[in-house]
Amino acid sequence: MEWTATGTLTARPALAHPELLAVPVTAALGVLDPALAASVGVAPIDPNVADTAAFCERYGISMDASANCVVVKGKRGGDVRYAACMVLASTRADVNGLVRRHLDVRSVSFAPMDEAVALTGMEYGGITPIGLPADWPILVDAAVAASREVVIGGGVRASKLFLPGSVLAALPGAQVIEALGRSVG
């Protein structure tokens, strides 16, 4: 597989480089359909520029080729529901509209950093939908799912994954949602 949204980075097959991935990501790739898993590349990065804007600038990658994983926490009465939202970095997740209604909760917010890290087993700033808890829905913006290739976190701040958007749409628990990502501005 050849990855093209890598800017100045060189991606290698993720399955061959578990040292660049969080443990839950490696485990999830190991049970993913082999053809899908083979389409996932990984590259090491400077963890100090893992945040999207700094990463894209440093490595020459378009914000439209980068997708963010936003972990949200919704509540209805005493029930707490977590989910991950995948949106292009050039957009923002419609958390208070589409996400709230989709999760059927009264209130929804970004999950606190310590909770997101503890529940996912991943590093903040590197959380990715591959390897999330099995009972979490993964809400994928239709623009992300349709992308030929997107760049996402590797579960740690020191790597990024490169994969077709269709892989995200095929993850267990994934649901493709139109207009999940809203334009910024």
Average pLDDT, the chain: 96
Per-residue burial over 4-22, b if 16 or more Cβ lie within 10 Å, else e, is ebbbebebbebbebeebbb
d(CA 125, CA 128) in angstroms, rounded, equals 9
Percent of the chain clearing pLDDT 90 (strictly above): 95
Q: At 100, which CATH number?
A: 3.90.960.10
For residue 179, tell me if it sits in a domain: no
Average pLDDT over residues 142-152: 98
pLDDT of residue 183: 85
Range of the domain at 156: 12-170
Confidence of residue 185 (pLDDT cuts 50, 70, 90): low
pLDDT of residue 99: 94
Structural domain count, the chain: 1
d(CA 137, CA 38) in angstroms, rounded, equals 23
pLDDT of residue 128: 98
pLDDT digits (tens, 9 = 90+) for 85-107: 999 999 999 999 999 999 999 99
Residue in 13, 16, 18, 15 with CA at minimum distance from that of residue 32:
15
For residue 45, tell me if it sits in a domain: yes
For residue 68, tell me if it sits in a domain: yes
pLDDT of residue 70: 95
For residue 161, tell me if it sits in a domain: yes
Average pLDDT over residues 134-150: 97
Per-residue burial over 111-125, b if 16 or more Cβ lie within 10 Å, else e, is beeeebbebbbbbee
Question: Is the CB of residue 138 less than 8 Å from the CB of residue 171?
Answer: yes
For residue 83, tell me if it sits in a domain: yes
For residue 108, tell me if it sits in a domain: yes
pLDDT of residue 1: 80
